[in-house]
Amino acid sequence: MIKRALTILLVLAMGLGIAQKADYLKRFEQAWKLVADYYYDLHYRGVDWRAVGERYREQIAESRSWPQVYRLLADMYGELGDRHSTVLNPRDALDELRGQQCFPLPFPVEHGAQLARVIAREKKEFGIDNEGAEESSEPAWGEFEASLKNNVAYLRIPVLLDHQLTSDLSDAVKNFEKKGVKGYVLDLRDNPGGMALIMAEVAGVFMRGLPWRIVTRTKGAIPQPTLPFWGKPLTSKPLVVIINGRVNSAAEGLAGALKMAHRATLVGERTAGNTEVVLPYCFPDGGVAMLASGLLAPIGATTWEGRGVTPDVKVVGEQKQLQTAIDIVLGSH
């Protein structure tokens, strides 16, 4: 009887292992296909994506846990070397995206009871309860800052991810306008970028129009207006934007648009020149593929990719950059 019971347990364990392997490979196929079909560069930045897929498929097939699978998927996206594309496991997606919505996978995915069992097992492995992960005590990227410096409004935006940012920024500007500030310093230093939608909303606080196009592989060039597009911005007072070499992506697009529209003076150092547009795609389990799906470019000009946004006034040194920005707003520079 004992031998028979052990045999049954062994068969069940083998069956579970086979089922898990199939689930792992299903997630792999979804992640690999996203890049194969929707990555912005037809040549995958010189990477043999099919060969990369074959190599990682073997490793993922041998995985023993969902965290291991997601680490391998992130490593696979890292082979593209674009500094943007990556894969977030369900817990990291909750922490880093902070509730932002993502796009459904652009191809059919599994549904039903089997998927529910897979997701339940994944949540257990990642330590996520039915209500989701506990909120982080501190935001992953730092907080929006608004303060007064010599009657100049100082606004620091650390990342362009959270829709709450636009509301907080708008409220701050309205409050500063009531106080009769001389103008604004927008500090984008070290901003890694974020969502094109948030970029357009933040720009809409200071200007209106159609400053960008997003060049995609599948849909050509897509115009990107400020949000809102029509009407008057919340302020027309002098604006200085501080940038440095660690400003990336949508933050570069924000600075570049304000400069090209002659809405702001840029102070600091050239930005990173890393302006792929990242779209977040949701896996059924809550994991997210962050995929570089296009290039951000100004209307009527070449993309900032590889060359960055140049400041109007080159200044080195954090304190000197800030003081120069304030002086420009006050008209003493």
Q: Tell me the domains of the chain and their CATH numbers.
A: 2-126 (1.20.920), 145-273+308-330 (3.90.226.10)
Q: Is the distance from CB of 205 to CB of 149 less than 8 angstroms?
A: no
Q: Which residue has the tokens 């701050």?
A: 172
Q: Which letter, b or e, does each residue of 176-205 get, where b requires 16 or more Cβ atoms within 10 Å of its Cβ?
A: beeeebebbbbbbbbbbbbbbbbbbbbbbb
Q: Which of 2-11, 83-92, 242-251 has the lowest mean pLDDT?
A: 2-11
302-331: average pLDDT: 96
Q: Is residue 294 scored above 70 in pLDDT?
A: yes
Q: Among 91-105, 143-157, 284-298, which is the least confidently predicted range?
A: 91-105
- Give me the pLDDT at residue 1, please: 56
Q: Is the pLDDT of residue 134 over 80?
A: no
**What span, in angstroms and rounded, lies between the C-alpha atoms of 227 and 64?**
46
For residue 233, the SS3 value is: coil
Of residues 277 and 239, more confidently modeled: 239
pLDDT of residue 127: 76
Average pLDDT of span 37-50: 96
Average pLDDT, the chain: 88
* pLDDT at residue 9, rounded to an integer: 39
* Residue 139's pLDDT band (cuts 50, 70, 90): low
- Two tokens, residue 79: 């082979």
pLDDT of residue 220: 85
CA distance 100 to 24: 25
Mean pLDDT of 163-192: 96
pTM of the model: 0.81
Per-residue pLDDT reduced to its tens digit, 13-24:
444 456 689 999
Q: Exposed/middle/buried for 220, CB within 10 Å: 0-12, 13-18, 19+?
A: exposed
The pLDDT of residue 307 is above 90: yes
Comparing CA positions, the residue from 108, 32, 20 lying closest to residue 64 is: 20
For the residues 232-237, what does the mean pLDDT come to? Answer: 98
